[in-house]
Structure 1
Amino acid sequence: MDFGITGRTALVTGGSKGMGRDAAHLLAAEGCRVAVVARTKPDIDDAVASIREQGGTAVGVVADMTDGEQVRQAVAEVRDAFGPPLIVIGQTKFTVPGDFADIEDVTTYADSFHTYTISQIHLLHAVLPAMREAGWGRFVHIGSATAKEPVGNIHHVVANATRPSTTGLLKTVSDEYAQYGITVNTVAPGWIETQNAIDYLRTNAGLKTEEERRAWMLDNARVPAARMGRSAEIASLIVYLCSEQAGYLSGNWIEVDGGHHRSAF
């Protein structure tokens, strides 16, 4: 299927690893000019080289997406290289595990809110004007299933408390900008087999092998698929949401979690 995005400029934050990297590769394969944005230059260079080796067009930009000035500068660099990014993948990471009684410093919650939500405000302000002028845009946020259904067995009270704010922000923005041909959606991964998740399960649950993780997914996490998801399974949905065909799909929070979310709605 031709997704109709050949020649579009795509800015992928967190594009050097995991789900972001897979999304960057798939967007490049669809003919997009891809800007990989992350904080660590060697990882960025590796991702860009990998895309180019497969015949794609890519550049790398070093930026901390929680810093408003760095976000604006990153978008300017991408615009100078390829033109304004009309496809934008937004994500950030903040991990401070613990139960409520464990985390007494309220600044931890503030830092989490800043990382998850304020970063997206910076990014939206930087990219929406060009999308509105073009009459076309795709903004996809990589969020988390905890935004809708907080989970207690992995001890993430900070994420449970702050993730939903990002979802509320993006739903509001999607409603305001849909009339300009811009879609804004959130992809909400469940347990995805990234290195970060593997390390977390090794440290906090003592899981060292794939067999142990599969058993834990079914018996402890209660994931009906009885496995962790693959990052490519997230990336493929992201790329569809960036397509012409997805132009009437906006303001949605789409969970990709192997059936973990128990509600029918």
Structure 2
Amino acid sequence: MKTVIFIPARFASTRFPGKPLIELAGTSGVRKTLIQRSWDAARQAQGVDAVYVLTDDARIADAARGFGADVLMTSSDARNGTERCAEALTQLGTDPDIVINLQGDAPLTPPWFVEALIDRMQDPAVQVATPVLRTERDMLLNFLTDRKMGRVGGTTAVMRTDGTALYFSKEVLPYVSDRTAPPEVWHHVGVYGYRPEALRSYAGWPEGTLEKVEGLEQLRFLEHGVPVACVEVKAQGRVFWELNNPVDVSRIESVLQLEGIE
């Protein structure tokens, strides 16, 4: 099955303007932009035929071409990464079987997260899939600290018994009342797998109420009755965290250095 990875990136982020071009220092002090580190992560996944950076900003496009990425220019009308992916799909000569959306703020995404999505989507009944990661104590404390400080950080997922998503939220769900014996909290990993037809349907729907309130694009699928398959992935000793806020720069740089990533 032909698989492409799209990496949506926009300059005008509400929480962190210009973040795709922020530089992150690796283990030896080498500095690379966030978008380059996300592209590096995408290229490590097996079973992928092509990787494209999607943007409406010439600064990001120039930077991406500078480190060797293929770029598809999309309009400024796209409200989120999924809409940007749907628009980019129309620029390809033929449809791939699977489109992977690896967001441009997730440079710590291990290749096996993407590969798990590709494996799950070998089932033709799956229209949309996304990874979820069981939170360990330190990660849960990061979530709770961000919320206590009034920051919107990572996203949590609540699932049905069949493994499809019941809801996604920027709140810590379920509610954690006892930190000594917390409930099972699932960290939603900002990577998606789509069938081309699911992307086209998404682009034709209006922005959903819950999607708009939470600021989570994947809720549009749930609001329109499309199941989102949640794929459990293992950290395998790696730390996963997205760059959502300026405070995350030091968090991610410490992981790059700890794990020996240049």
- TM-score bracket relative to the smaller structure: 0.3 to 0.5
Which TM-score applies when normalising by structure 1? 0.37
Q: Which has the higher contact order (CA 8 A, sep 6+)?
A: 2
Flag the structure with higher helix content: 1
Flag the structure with higher strand content: 2
Which TM-score applies when normalising by structure 2? 0.37
